Amino acid sequence: MAAFAHTVGAQTYRFDSLKDVMAKASPARSGDFLAGVAALNDGERVAAQMALADIPLSHFLQEALIPYETDEVTRLIIDSHDKQAFAVVSHLTVGGFRDWLLSDAADEQSLRALAPGLTPEMVAAVSKIMRVQDLVLVAQKIRVVTKFRGTLGLRGRLSTRLQPNHPTDEPAGIAASILDGLLYGNGDAMIGINPATDSIASICAMLEMLDAIIQRYDIPTQACVLTHVTTSIEAINRGVPLDLVFQSIAGTEAANASFGINLNILQEGYDAGLSLNRGTLGQNLMYFETGQGSALSANAHHGVDQQTCETRAYAVARHFKPFLVNTVVGFIGPEYLYNGKQIIRAGLEDHFCGKLLGVPMGCDICYTNHAEADQDDMDTLLTLLGVAGINFIMGIPGSDDIMLNYQTTSFHDALYARQTLGLKPAPEFEQWLANMGIFTQADGKVRFGNNLPPAFRQALAQLG
């Protein structure tokens, strides 16, 4: 373990280890204070950033933040590191890497080639010395395209997960939210339900229902019920139609253990999903959710700052070629991200770090009622992530998740991003929307059809 020192004027700052520099260089957030790893004051924070900027990227391959011997995520990171891909930046310091990322040398092609050569710790480190505009500008250069029944992540596109949650999993209530979302043009990333009850019978019934809806209306999207990976495996064993295999993941072995998973279990889930061969355009089928603070909340952070722990989760994710990864940024609460400013910065960091590692990032742009945040903060983060080229966001009726009791982006919010930034849905879904007469988009502007689509008019007529 190396000790680092940095002198500014008359003052010398000392740091015990790479882990210590990283934590103290992190822009201030409540979770790092809670963990007791944050800088003592603003001066120490910037000094740590200066010290970090001088550390060679190659040092990150020498000093593991969490020991190789005791953590399978560290082993995955080190064992899968691509030295050849790394060569192009191997001579740089963290500060030099920031300059390189912002330069013309870093473009869509070179960044794609570089991704397997980067470790999460390198990526987290550089993000700590970047401003919001840097995080947006570099992320905007990167595209991570994935396919299942639709093509996600193309330039100029923004997809939405239609999240039709219901407090008691009532099928008609779920269906009502699904139709509402489809009629507002949402749902191309997936129709994904957080179930209120975790019984296998109920999960299977929801999967059957989503499959039937997608088939009946020929919607080029994919279904997901967000249950534990072992429950998804069980559903697959029972012959239930399942598109995307979900799991919450974190950046340390111990945090993953608290979720009841490890890399082997994820592999089993991935293999089970692949065995169904349900993707028509591709076989990216894992759907992961993450969020800063999850390792700390499981007391499994090993003294590593929460943003670095989060970035390590993306190394877990990319190993399974996921369809989408979603950082649920403001869900965890103010003890990890206190206010709108911290949530906004964290969302942009996560998106940047994930993309740089080659992960198809989305963001649940969200907050809870005990955080110092509101709709204005979410509008800001949505706009910034739209500019940064995010793959997908959530879409929920009126921003109000009545099952999980938090606020995320609404169907209308996605339309706002389309109008202001000219972002279109996935091409297959765009075509479906046009065929159904829901809306078309030309020169950025969204033009809704004048009438309800006949198929849905018929469905509504059932209600009498």
Q: Does the protein bind another protein through residue 179 (CB under 8 A)?
A: yes
Q: Does the protein bind another protein through residue 172 (CB under 8 A)?
A: yes
Is the CB of 21 or the CB of 332 nearer to another protein? 332
Restricted to residues 338-357, the positions that interact with another protein (CB under 8 A) are 338
Rg (CA), the chain: 22
Stretch that binds another protein, among 60-68, 120-128, 196-204, 353-361 (CB under 8 A): 196-204
Is the CB of 23 or the CB of 135 nearer to another protein? 23
Q: Is residue 400 marked as binding?
A: no
Cross-strand pairs, 152: 146
Is the CB of 21 or the CB of 371 nearer to another protein? 371
Q: Is residue 137 marked as binding?
A: no
Q: Does the protein bind another protein through residue 390 (CB under 8 A)?
A: no
Taking a C-beta distance cutoff of 8 angstroms, is the pair 354, 316 a contact?
Answer: no
Q: Which residues contact 79 (CB under 8 A, 6 or more apart)?
A: none
Among 9, 79, 109, 370, binds another protein (CB under 8 A): 370
Is the CB of 72 or the CB of 188 nearer to another protein? 188
Stretch that binds another protein, among 50-58, 138-146, 246-254, 450-458 (CB under 8 A): 450-458
Restricted to residues 66-85, the positions that interact with another protein (CB under 8 A) are none
Q: Report the 10 Å Cβ neighbour count for 461.
A: 8
What stretches of 259-374 show up as alpha helix (H) in DSSP?
A: 263-276, 294-297, 306-318, 340-356
Q: Which residues contact 262 (CB under 8 A, 6 or more apart)?
A: 72, 253, 256
Q: Does the protein bind another protein through residue 460 (CB under 8 A)?
A: yes
Taking a C-beta distance cutoff of 8 angstroms, is the pair 35, 305 a contact?
Answer: yes
Q: Is residue 297 marked as binding?
A: yes
- CA 212, distance to chain mean position in Å, is 28
Q: Is residue 99 marked as binding?
A: no
Stretch that binds another protein, among 72-80, 198-206, 355-363, 379-387 (CB under 8 A): 198-206
Burial class of residue 185, CB neighbours in 10 A (0-12, 13-18, 19+) = buried
For another protein, how many residues bind (rule: CB under 8 A)? 69
Q: Does the protein bind another protein through residue 34 (CB under 8 A)?
A: yes
Separation CA 442–CA 435 (nearest Å) = 15
Q: Is residue 161 marked as binding?
A: yes
Label residues 154-164 b or e (16+ Cβ within 10 Å = b): eeebbbbbbbb
Across 59-203, where does the E strand assignment appear? 146-147, 151-152, 159-162, 190-193
Q: Does the protein bind another protein through residue 40 (CB under 8 A)?
A: no
Separation CA 363–CA 294 (nearest Å) = 16
Separation CA 436–CA 430 (nearest Å) = 10
Which pair of structure tokens corresponds to residue 311? 């970035």
Separation CA 345–CA 354 (nearest Å) = 14
In the shown chain, the binding pattern of residues 127 to 166 toward another protein, with x for contact by CB under 8 A and - for none, equals -------------------------------------xxx
Among positive and negative, which fits the CA dihedral 409, 412, 415, 416?
negative
Q: Is residue 294 marked as binding?
A: no
Q: Is residue 183 marked as binding?
A: no
Among 51, 111, 204, 433, binds another protein (CB under 8 A): 204
Among 111, 183, 285, 325, binds another protein (CB under 8 A): 183
Among 106, 206, 272, 394, binds another protein (CB under 8 A): 206
Q: Is residue 451 marked as binding?
A: no
Separation CA 224–CA 347 (nearest Å) = 23
In the shown chain, the binding pattern of residues 391 to 430 toward another protein, with x for contact by CB under 8 A and - for none, equals -----xxxxx-x--xxx--x-x--xx-xx-----------
- CA 364, distance to chain mean position in Å, is 7
Q: Is residue 22 marked as binding?
A: no
Feature table: binding site for substrate:
161-163, 194, 289, 364
- Residues that bind another protein in the complex, under the rule CB under 8 A: 30, 33-34, 164-180, 183-184, 197, 199, 201-202, 204-206, 208-209, 212-213, 216-217, 333-335, 338, 368-370, 374-375, 396-400, 402, 405-407, 410, 412, 415-416, 418-419, 446, 448, 452, 456, 458-463
